[in-house]
Amino acid sequence: MSKPSSASFANLQGHYFHYLGNPTRLRKFLSVFLIYIGIIAAFFLFTGLFLALFYAPQDWQQGEVFRLIYIHVPLAWLSCGFYLLLSLFCVLFLVWRNPLAALLASQTAPIGMLCSALCLITGALWGRPTWGTWWVWDARLTSVLILFFLYLGFIALQRSYQNSPEGMRLCALLGIIGAIDLPIIHFSVQWWSTLHQGPTFRLGHVPPMPAEMWLPLLFTFFGFSFGGLWLICARTYVELRKRQLKALLQTAIPKTEASLT
């Protein structure tokens, strides 16, 4: 008698979790995964950027400046998405004490920080012609700035402890506690009366703009998402290679030299 499908799925998840919990297997998996994800990211990004600049029409009110939506919004979503991913890795590290989860979290933080910094810069560039100001202490803008500082704090804390397990435990706590900023960012435009506009896209609602405007956004969103994921995986791969080389130089080579002599 076959097991229920949910149990099989849980077993499958558990199997892959343990399978990829090994540094060598993860490195081999990433070496193949990086090629596919890179091709997908390049396709979505180039198509999305082409559509954003040449296919999407001008906005009736904001004119050409509206085109900043195609880079600003994906970066805003990703800065939150990558923090969620970082928190997930922190939970995995604290619960299962898996050092690979700590490694993945440490590689996610710089990419997330970059996304939030670029989101703030493109937001300022969009705000100047439309709001008449580069920056305002608005709830949405301030909460994203806090997210940027959370990323910065995570990186600074991790580097100050030089990747020690004790330091990583503190980083993991910061990563989990900092996740409280994510619902604040999301609901800030609803809880407070802000200069920043409310959510344009909602799950289960038809987008309030024509398809030729939201289709390029969908492409750039997938492009930046896969691109960011590629960067995280590539940085993890590089770090695993570095560790492998270090371990090899420390153990295998002296042994080989000894056996040769």
Partner 1 sequence: MILSLPPLAHFYENAISSPHSLTFVFIGYFIVLAVCFYITVQTLRKIIHYRVQMRNLAKQFGLPNE
Report DSSP state, residue 63. B
Dist CA 162 CA 131 (whole Å): 43
Decide if residue 13 touches partner 1 (CB under 8 A).
no
Decide if residue 118 touches partner 1 (CB under 8 A).
yes
Dist CA 137 CA 196 (whole Å): 10
Decide if residue 68 touches partner 1 (CB under 8 A).
yes
Decide if residue 129 touches partner 1 (CB under 8 A).
yes
Query: From the CB of 6, what's the least distance to partner 1, in Å?
Result: 36
Decide if residue 64 touches partner 1 (CB under 8 A).
yes
Tell me the CA distances in angstroms from 227 to 68, 240, 258, one per residue in order. 18, 20, 45
Report DSSP state, residue 193. -
Dist CA 134 CA 107 (whole Å): 31
Dist CA 152 CA 149 (whole Å): 5
Chosen residue from 35, 180, 238, 247 binding partner 1 by CB under 8 A:
238
136: Cβ contacts below 8 Å, ≥ 6 apart: 127, 195
Give SS3 for 173: helix
Closer to partner 1 by Cβ: residue 81 or 227:
227
Decide if residue 47 touches partner 1 (CB under 8 A).
no
Decide if residue 39 touches partner 1 (CB under 8 A).
no
Closer to partner 1 by Cβ: residue 71 or 139:
71
Dist CA 96 CA 14 (whole Å): 12
CB-based contact 161:168 (threshold 8 Å)? yes
Decide if residue 237 touches partner 1 (CB under 8 A).
yes
Decide if residue 88 touches partner 1 (CB under 8 A).
no
Closer to partner 1 by Cβ: residue 97 or 241:
241
State the residues that interact with partner 1 by CB under 8 A.
24, 28, 49, 53, 58, 61-65, 67-68, 71-72, 75, 114, 118, 121-122, 125-126, 128-130, 227, 230-231, 234-235, 237-238, 241-242, 244-245, 248-249, 252-253, 256-257
